[in-house]
Each structure stands twice: as C-alpha cells, then as structure tokens.
Structure 1
C-alpha cells in the first residue's frame, strides 16, 4: 500500500510540475513576445492555470496519499518533503484567492511596465494597492496567526524569517558602509567607461559569454526583456538580457547573471526531470549561482583581462587604457540608482532598503500611497543622492507588480552563499586564476555542477551550501572578499 501511495504521489507531482512549467512559459512569453493588447486575456489564462494547479496541490486525496507514502530512498524522501510542503501551503489559501492573485499580477506586470516607461507612479498605484491587498490576505492565510511576511518569504527561502534577515543585514551593514565610505573618499578613482557600443555586437559577445559560462544552447534561447530574467528548468531553460549602447556592461553582466541561474537548472540530475526536486533548492541558492558567476568570477581581475581583449577585438580601441584599468572600471563603485547595475559594495544596501519597505507594506505599517516618498527618503539617507525620476526609484523593479513579496532578501542571502562558495572553490581549484585569464570557466562551472547544481532540491538550502563548503555559511567570506578586492583597486 505505501509503495503504491508513493508511486501515486509522484504521478500527481510530475503532472503538476509539468503544468507549472507551462505556466512559466506563458510568463516568459508575456515579457518577451506577447502583443500588448493580449494582457487582459493573458491574465485570465494565468488565473485558469493557477486554479488547476491550486486544486492539484490542495487535493485532499493528495494529503491522504502523503500520510500513507513511505520513501524507499533519500531522493524519494526529498520528493515527499517538497510535495508535502506545497500541499501544506496550498490548503491554507482559498482557491479563488490564488486565482485572483494570478490574474491581477499578470495584468499588473504590463501596467507597471507602461507606468515605468512613462515615469507615471500615479498610473501604477491603484494596481499595486490591489496586489498588496491580495498578498496581505495570502500572507495572513498562510501564517494562521503568525507573521504574514515570514509566511510569504518562506515560499522563496524555506524557514527564513524576517528576524533572521534583519540579523543578517545588521551583521553586514556596518562593514559595508565603512568600506563604501573609504572607497568614495579614496584618492584613486577609476574612470567610467565612455563611448558607444553597437547593440548587435553587444549581443554577439553576450552569446559568447553565455557559452563560456556553461549555457547549453540546445536547451535554451536568449531574448530581450525590460527586466532580465531566467525561466524554466530541465531541457527548456530560457534567458533574457537588455542592451544599452552607452553601457555594454549592463548587457554582459545581466547575461552572465542569468546564465548562472540557467546553468543551475540545466545542471540538475536528469533523473529528477519534471519532479519536485528537479529544480533549484531555493531562491537564495539560485542567487548564489548567478552572483558567483557575475561577480566573483565574471568581475575578477583574471577574467576581465580576457574580456578586455574580447571587447577590443569587437569594438576596437574604446578608451579603457590597460587591462588593469579595465578591471578597475568594471568594478567602479558609485552610489547609483539602479539595483541591477549596482556595484558589489552598494548592491546589498539596495536590498536592505527594499526589505524594510516591503515588510512594512505587508504588515500595514506602510501604505502604498506613501511608498514613493518612503523610498525616496530612505534612498537619500542610504545613498546620499536624491531620486531624480520614478524609474530610478520605486518603479525600477518588476517584483512587487507580480507579487514577489519576500523575494528581495534572497538576493543578499545569495551573495552571502556565493562568498562562501567562492572561498571553497578557490581552495579546491588552485589553477582557477590561470583558467579565468584564458576565458576558460570549465573548472569553475564543473565545480558548481558537482557541489550544487546536480543535487537540485535534494537537500534543504542551508544544508546544501554547508555540504558544498564544508561548514556553516556566514557573511564573513563575502565581506572579506569585498574588502580585499576593493581595497586593492582603490589603494585603501
């Protein structure tokens, strides 16, 4: 009976995961190919699919089967753990609410994009207020008397609480702020990149970079999006990037970042395909893969030396001086407005701002009507610069329009994990520097596949990272790395 119960749970789970992939593909299409006039219809389509998925996840028969099922091995136990987790969450949320969230957030994404393009906060506020209302309701249903924000964040990083996030930020902030102040006050200041870099040439080099970082083009594709993202798992994993002819780094490092996500999904053990553990362990672990590729590897002195040569071959002389000058320019520290373009020192300060604001929104301590002023005040305090337009402020990120409350902290958690993984990788791969200087990422990506990718969600997130690094993760390796790297660049 228990063996049959396990088999039946897995049959249900495989179909559910397949349907989730179909829904994800609709989301990819919405951001890359869908005609603007289809937004309302797409919202209804997404709501219909979410209704089917919610019914499957919350099915009482699935609960009965989970109570009977016995796992024959550790992988099977992990499968049951993930199905049970999804079932436990789904039964707490009314089906109509789940469908309404799917419909509203699908439509909201287009409204946000248009408001962002027009610099029109007022056009977005009513929709955002509706999203926040629905997410508060969902959080309350999930929390059942507990903290609604914690309940929402649990969907992205199981077990992580707001108090844990605040403690992590509290441990990181003093050293980050001190380093930032020392850098901005340094006599040595790298020059910004100047010139114009053709879009077609940028995209050709971006494709080359994706290949170098291990992206399998036979199971993926690259498109353009307002906000770069990666979508899918297994044998269909797609990436997007964006192009600014005045700033090729935006394209190149967005591409590398999304390839970090995509290579993780492509690297999961094929035996787990279309199962609950056949995907990344959590968004924190996912971000560790994108950030280690983008920053510790992609912005390293050795790799930027190789990239400098590649850019000269394609763009000719572009005023960067030497490879060492180029390395400093790539890693230039400036208190800019945009999170996705932020340097490594400022990036986590951007996340801290968003965490505090979204936590206040969900608790009701902050209302949507007051969000723009709260954002602008906080940004001026943290970065010393006044926000000049909404697309540089509260309209810059897609996350809140699509209901991703609790997601932002996983970016910093991913940075923390990446710092730990990078230290362990350097210890295991003494020849890594020489490989990076040749534009050869195979040893690094192979290490990540072995230590992280192949396991999918077999292990809980923190357990997976602890196994990979041989100890408990902490913020120390990341902060040490930042102080060493930027101390050398700025002569501190």
Structure 2
C-alpha cells in the first residue's frame, strides 16, 4: 500500500468516528434524557481522546511526506493540504486539554439551557469561566506566538483574521445603521403578525417549506431543539427547529435556515464521503447557504406569496389581508433582542457586538464575571434598547457554552458571501421567481449545488465564492440588495 493509500484509509476511519461523535452531540440536544448529562460528558471525552490520538498519530506526518510525490490531481493535493493543516494544529493541543474541553462543553450545554430557562446568569458563569480558561489555553497553543483569537477563528474560517473581518465590518456598519435609522423613521410601517399559532401546525408547515427547498427526507429528519442546528453529512444530515406559539416565522425560517446547511452537506460529491473533502469548506460558506436560503430566497416576495396562500387555512385566519402586506410583515424591521429572530437589516449588528465581546474575552480584557454587564451596555448602545432578561441577552446563544469562540463572525461573512452568490444566481436564473411563487425553490438549490455544494472542501472559501460568481468577494452586493429591498418595503 502506498503512503497516499495508507493515509486515505486511516483518514476514512477517523472521519467515520468523527461522524459518530457528531451524532452523540445531536442526540444530546434533541432526545437524550436530561439525567444522562454526566454520562454523555464522559462518552464525549472518550471519543475526543480516541480522535485526538488518531489526529496526532506520528504516522500521519510520515505518510504526508511520502504521499507528496504520489499526488496525481487537484483532489489529492487538496486532501493532503487539509490533512496536513489539521495534523499541525492538533499536535499543538495536549490530549488532556482536548479531553477536558470535550467533557466540560458537553456538561455546559445542559447548565446553559437550565440557566437560560430560569434566567439565572450566576449559575452559568462559573462553568463559562472554566471554558474560557481552557479556550485561552487552546488559543495560546494554536497561535504559537501569533494572535490568539485568529488561531481560534482559523478553525471555522481558514485564512480569515480579526483584522480582515474588522475591515468588512467597518464597511458594513455605516450603511446598515443608516438604513436602520431610515426604516425606523419611515412613515410606512408593516403590520406585525399577531395571534396564537399551534405548534403542530407550525411544524407541519415548516416541513412543507423544507420539502419546497428540496430537503431529502430519506437522508434527514427534523426535531426540536432549544437552539436550532443541523448535524451530519454524506447520507445523514438532520435539522432541528423550535416553536414559539406567538411567532410562526421563528419556526418556519429556522427550518429553512437549517435546511440550507443540510442541503450543502447532502449535495457534496458522494466520492468525497469519509475524506477531508467531504464537508463544507468553512463556516462562512456554510452560513452563506443557510442565509441565502432563509433570506434572499425564503423571504422573497415570490416565496412569501406562496407561503401566504397556505397561512390562513393552516392557522384559521390571519390579521394580514394580502400577500404584499404579508411579505412586508415577514421582513418587518423591529428592535428585537434575539439574533436568530433578527431582520436582515440588523442581523450583522448583532454579530459585530458578539465579535468584539469574544475578542475581549479571549484576550483577557474581559472576564466571564463581567460579561453580562458588558453585553447589556453594548446592546443598549448599539440597539437603543435595554436588555430585559438574560434569555434575551447574554444567555440567548448556545455558542460560548460549547466553546465556539471565533464562530460568530462567520455568520456575517456568510451574509456577505450570500450577497455575492445571490447577485449571480438571480442573473443566471431569470425564471426563479416564477418557480418560487409555486413553492419550488429547487432551481436555486440546484444552482447552489452546482456552484458551491458539490465541491465540498476542494476549493478554499474565498476562491470558491469567486469561482461561483466570477467577481471578487465584496460587501457591496449585500448592501445594495438590502437597500433596494427595504427601500421598497418602507417607501424610502
């Protein structure tokens, strides 16, 4: 067996084990008995120990050296690049640290969920402090003298840096703030959807929306979670959603968002299964698929028209009379607390706040004990509203409880990528609105599959988007889209 073949066979088993570990995480967030948290933490730690040992196996370095001369095509070269990158990163992290992070973040999910449900920040802060201590240690090990936050960010968006993201945010912020001010001060204000909407009916309609986006139910399923997410790849990618009886848009658009993620994983070339190419190339690209599905497609006038036709019968009437007003209501801009429920105009402002806070946390400029106060002060400054309770503030997101520092900016990068992709997709699919008006989003999904999904991790994030669009990545298409869309809705 050649070095390349030996490496690929070894990697195949590691990928399979990683998928099993991911399934344990899905189970914990959906159907695991609450009393099993400590057992699951030990199971997750044991899996991480096995995976860390495999990822740092000295033979990987030897195989990489030997396989360099055996490369035959772009796919082989890219797999060696990705495996080598992961090997170098993993060998910098002590096994003890990897296990402890896996154990603690598994336990922390339940602690966070309980604290969120009881509005008790103090009960979560000691756990968050411990996670933060471990993440700072991990960042220092990975940075090897470089920027600690960039070292964590590189796990989610390879090639990005806090500096490059800050430049993008500096471009986005002035026009987003101006657009928000113009919208909030506009004479025309859309009516909010009002009423009580039964959970089972919401879930039935959400399933219809998932089907409209081509979700493959033979390779997926939908469950309820505190914080919606998707999980899995290859032949098994599952989605979750949540239900708020006063707000069916929460369930519907959470579902469409997660379908965007799963469609990406299920659309990757099947030949890449159990290889380093067999997953989304970055979190930013992943978010571009969920955000374009949720917003540019799912909140379009065409698709909301189809959705409106189903709402009155599903929910025994609505307080909104026509499809145009319904479209405006779906896209209504309001000063809410929750990132995942935010309108397109303000969403990136939520991300910018979290980006700054977590950079301060990793750098040691902010401690977990002071986080709630810092969060509330920043939220009041950025959104002009005082946080009323922790579940609407510092406890609303699951990310920090599971150690995902460096993850948040990828949401905004995803919006930027989605803006670029949408511009090209609309030009390539002049009949798309007609299909969406019939409840058929598959032309858009197929375009994304051809230009993004099927490549998996073969092409790096920025080159992938630039290949798909034929232009350089820029925030301009996103900003132009938002100003045109909301200018029309609010008659600016």
Measured in 2, the distance between the counterparts of 1:327 and 1:440 equals 17
Report the RMSD for the aligned CA atoms in angstroms. 0.7
**2:199 corresponds to 1:199:** yes
Deviations 1:21-80 (A, max 9, x none): 000000000000111111111111111110111111111111111111032111111111
Deviations 1:329-373 (A, max 9, x none): 000001110000000001000000000000000000111111000
Give a deviation string over 1:457-476, Cα, whole Å, max 9, x none: 01011111110001111100
Q: Please state if 1:306 is matched with 2:281.
A: no
Aligned to 1:273: 273
Q: Which residue of 2 aligns with 1:263?
A: 263
Matched, 1:466 2:466: yes
The aligned residue for residue 409 of structure 2 is: 409
Match of 1:363 in 2: 363
Q: Determine the C-alpha separation between the residues in 1 that align with 2:165 and 2:335.
A: 23
- What SS is found at the alignment partner of 1:351? helix
Aligned residues: 490
2:54 corresponds to 1:56: yes
Distance 1:442 1:55 in 2: 42
Q: What is the CA distance between 1:313 and its match in structure 2?
A: 2.9
- Deviation, structure 1 residue 442: 1.7
Q: What's the counterpart of residue 239 of structure 1?
A: 239
1:39 to 37, 62, 74: 37
Q: Does 1:66 align with 2:64?
A: yes
In 1, the alpha carbon distance for the partners of 2:485 and 2:56 equals 49
Aligned to 1:13: 11
TM-score using structure 1 length: 0.99
Provide structure 2 residue ranges, at least 5 long, that are not aligned to the other structure: none
Match of 2:478 in 1: 478
Question: Which residue of the partner structure matches residue 85 of structure 1?
Answer: 85
Report the counterpart of residue 384 of structure 2 in structure 1.
Answer: 384
Deviations 1:372-423 (A, max 9, x none): 0000000000000000000000000000000000000000000000000000
CA drift at 1:491: 0.5
Output the CA distance in 2 between the equivalents of 1:88 and 1:171.
34
TM-score calculated relative to the size of structure 2: 0.99
| Separation (CA, whole Å) in 1 of partners of 2:255 and 2:403 | 24
* Residue 2 of structure 2: aligned partner: 4
CA distance in 2, matches of 1:212, 1:438: 9
Distance in 1 (alpha carbons) for counterparts of 2:144 and 2:442: 47
SS at match of 1:401: helix
Q: Structure 1: give runs of 5+ residues left out of the alignment.
A: none
Q: CA shift at 1:317, angstroms?
A: 2.1
**Hey, what does 1:116 align to over in structure 2?**
116
Task: Name the SS of the counterpart of 1:387 in structure 2.
Answer: coil
Q: Which moved more, 1:65-74 or 1:457-466?
A: 65-74
Poorly superposed stretches of 4+, deviation over 4 Å: none
